[in-house]
Amino acid sequence: MSKATSASGSVREFKMPDVGEGLTEAEILKWYVQPGEAVTDGQVVCEVETAKAAVELPIPFDGVVRDLHFPEGTTVDVGQAIIAVEVAGGAAGGPSDAADEAAGAGEGAGAADAEPEGRQPVLVGYGVSQSTTRRRPRKAPAATAAATPAADAVQAELNGHVDTAPPAAPSAVPAAPAEAPPAPASVPGERPLAKPPVRKLAKDLGVDLTSVVPSGPDGIITREDVHAAATQAPAAAPAGRPGAERVARAEQQVTGEPSVPAAALADAAGRETRIPVRGVRKATAQAMVGSAFTAPHVTEWVTVDVTRTVKLVDELKRDADKYGLTGLRINPLLLIAKALLVAIKRNPEVNASWDEANQEIVQKHYVNLGIAAATPRGLIVPNIKDAHAKTLPELAEALADLVGTAREGRTSPGAMQGGTVTITNVGVFGIDSGTPILNPGESAILAVGAIKAQPWVHKGKVKPRQVTTLALSFDHRLVDGELGSKVLADVAAVLEEPKRLITWG
């Protein structure tokens, strides 16, 4: 789109940034603004999904939305302009008629061809701006509401003057809104003042910015304010939060409600539906194919009596205060994860990766424990960093945070990188077990089947016992049959007799 101009400013293009690590494209999931609406620096304008995660994009300047170049559901290459915003008097990355008009507004019509003075480079990719430009303090909600019915009125507010006033007559310019004291950040309906990195931090910590008391100048929320709010009490996500909308929309897609993406096409008879594969699901498919045909998989099975583990879980639930587990989610997966960590401690050679370029085995002296999570957007595998160093309460808290974040669709790309081994709990679907495919770059994955009451020989008699089947898949380049068998046997031994956690852990 050409950089069209108006009497009040120039049009700047906001390009799709590289929101991941070298990713080349992203799908626009939802627009939060429409043409004619005013936007401010740091305001989230859309949500996009990459091959790793869904990300909200803040815009880096003030203005009025002129055009949305792509509809929701479109996959856009990094570097393509996705939204045009009419800004107040600033140049849109180079000399333009709008820049000349901005210069002529203060110097007369004869200076229209002159290049504005005091231009300084700003962020890479966002052009330059007038050195005299000063961000206007946020107006009170009532004033803002009065100014938004028409785009021209909003633009006039951004310029700090009314279009009907003669440009060469400063005395005719009414008092700038900046003279009015800014509204406090806690006013209902007012968007809290915070920089994009602070907003990202609040999102990752699950903190509602509207409940944070600002300590920065002019009511700006700082990183310290967010950390303080996070330590006081976990903030629940507002019902209108974009992330909540994403989860609701994705859940509707899974259940077959009418909110199927616009890109999903059904044939005339309604017998087939074609849904484009993109984002997380596309990346997962590519990764699984690469893993299956790169790493030589071996899978071993063991069926184990976990009655004592089930009883221990019940005891931990009853006496959570005694064991420091108050308020934490306690389930068999917690003890299974601990059992796997103990088995890795006893057999550290299993915790490794294959360096194809250098033809080396990279031994890991830390365990980033991945937990496979089925989400409305597809299968993701976030991991608990340094899980080997966590106590049982710390591991329980980390598991709860990981699962909760995944279900809400807020898992960050960093949380899905650097995993070493993974657990996939297929038992929650009533499945006995399976042959899981390795997460790329990892050495092993443990599949946990459903825990069921089955007849079992116990102390020479057949009794109903709680039984499950474990399956361990591993990369045979790194792990031979003996090592894999030892790891699986150790996991089974701990789950059969949890007291081994005391002597082995």
pLDDT in tens, 228-262: 887 764 434 334 444 444 444 444 433 333 344 44
- Model confidence over 100-120: pLDDT tens digits? 333 334 443 343 344 444 444
Angle, vertex CA 111, rays to CA 106 and CA 112, nearest 5: 95
Reported confidence tier of residue 187, pLDDT bands at 50, 70, 90:
low
Instruction: Choose the final residue of a domain: 155, 183, 211.
Output: 183
Instruction: Choose the final residue of a domain: 131, 155, 183.
Output: 183
State yes or no: is 388 an active-site residue: no
- Model confidence over 442-482: pLDDT tens digits? 999 999 999 999 999 999 999 999 999 999 999 999 999 99
CATH classification of the domain holding 67: 2.40.50.100
Q: How far apart are the C-alpha atoms of 177 and 161, rounded to whole Å?
A: 9
Instruction: Choose the final residue of a domain: 183, 214, 242.
Output: 183
Say yes or no: 211 and 239 in one domain: yes
Say yes or no: 103 and 197 in one domain: no
In terms of pLDDT, which residue wins out, 197 or 265? 197
70 within a domain of the structure (yes/no): yes
Give the DSSP H/E element, type plus range, for residue 314: helix 307-318
CA neighbor of 131 nearest in space, from 120, 139, 123, 140: 120
Strand-strand pairing, 81-88 and 373-375: unpaired
Specify which residues 464 forms β-bridges with: 455
Say yes or no: 91 and 26 in one domain: yes
Give the DSSP H/E element, type plus range, for residue 156: helix 151-159
List Cα–Cα distances, 315 to 103, 305, 464, 495, 496, in angstroms: 76, 18, 20, 15, 16
Q: What are the helix and strand counts (H, E) for the chain?
A: 12, 26
Q: How many CB atoms lie within 10 A of CB 373?
A: 19
Say yes or no: 333 and 467 in one domain: yes
Query: What is the residue-averaged pLDDT of the chain?
Result: 75
User: In terms of residue numbers, what domain contains 290?
Assistant: 281-504
Say yes or no: 327 and 379 in one domain: yes
Indicate if the pLDDT at residue 383 is higher than 80: yes
- Model confidence over 13-32: pLDDT tens digits? 999 887 665 667 888 888 99
DSSP label at 61? S
Say yes or no: 197 and 176 in one domain: no
The pLDDT of residue 240 = 41
CATH classification of the domain holding 207: 4.10.320.10
The SS3 call for residue 7 is coil
The long-range contacts involving 237-243, CB below 8 angstroms and separated by at least 24 positions, are: 237/206, 237/208, 237/408, 238/208, 238/210, 242/30, 242/32, 242/44, 242/47, 242/56, 243/203, 243/408, 243/409, 243/410
- Model confidence over 454-464: pLDDT tens digits? 999 999 999 99
149 within a domain of the structure (yes/no): yes
Contact present, 194 and 217 (Cβ < 8 Å): no
The residue to which tokens 């990279």 are assigned: 362
CA neighbor of 412 nearest in space, from 243, 261, 275: 243
Indicate if the pLDDT at residue 167 is higher than 60: no
431 within a domain of the structure (yes/no): yes
Q: Which of 84-98, 123-137, 308-322, 409-423 is least confident?
A: 123-137
Indicate if the pLDDT at residue 401 is higher than 50: yes
Say yes or no: 161 and 201 in one domain: no
Say yes or no: 107 and 26 in one domain: yes
Say yes or no: 89 and 18 in one domain: yes
DSSP label at 117? S
The residue to which tokens 């170049």 are assigned: 69
Say yes or no: 203 and 292 in one domain: no
Catalytic residue, chosen from 161, 365, 388, 476, is 476
Q: How far apart are the C-alpha atoms of 436 and 301, rounded to whole Å?
A: 11
Say yes or no: 197 and 54 in one domain: no
Say yes or no: 49 and 155 in one domain: yes
Q: How far apart are the C-alpha atoms of 142 and 147, rounded to whole Å?
A: 9
The pLDDT of residue 84 = 93
271 within a domain of the structure (yes/no): no
CATH classification of the domain holding 332: 3.30.559.10
List Cα–Cα distances, 490 to 2, 308, 340, 484, in angstroms: 66, 16, 8, 10
Reported confidence tier of residue 491, pLDDT bands at 50, 70, 90:
very high
The pLDDT of residue 479 = 93
Number of domains forming the structure of the chain: 3
DSSP label at 126? S
The SS3 call for residue 274 is strand
CA neighbor of 80 nearest in space, from 3, 4, 26: 26
Phi, psi of 84 (to 5 degrees): -105, 130
The pLDDT of residue 178 = 44
In terms of pLDDT, which residue wins out, 37 or 258? 37
The pLDDT of residue 120 = 45
In terms of pLDDT, which residue wins out, 93 or 264? 264
The pLDDT of residue 311 = 96
The residue to which tokens 């950390």 are assigned: 227
Sign of the CA dihedral with 413 first, then 418, 424, and 428 last: negative
Reported confidence tier of residue 52, pLDDT bands at 50, 70, 90:
low
Query: Is this structure's pTM higher than 0.75?
Result: no
In terms of pLDDT, which residue wins out, 435 or 131? 435
- Model confidence over 138-153: pLDDT tens digits? 544 444 444 444 444 4
318 within a domain of the structure (yes/no): yes
**Burial class of residue 481, CB neighbours in 10 A (0-12, 13-18, 19+):** exposed
- Model confidence over 210-220: pLDDT tens digits? 888 888 887 88
Residue 325 CB contacts under 8 Å (≥ 6 apart), including other chains: 316, 392, 393, 396
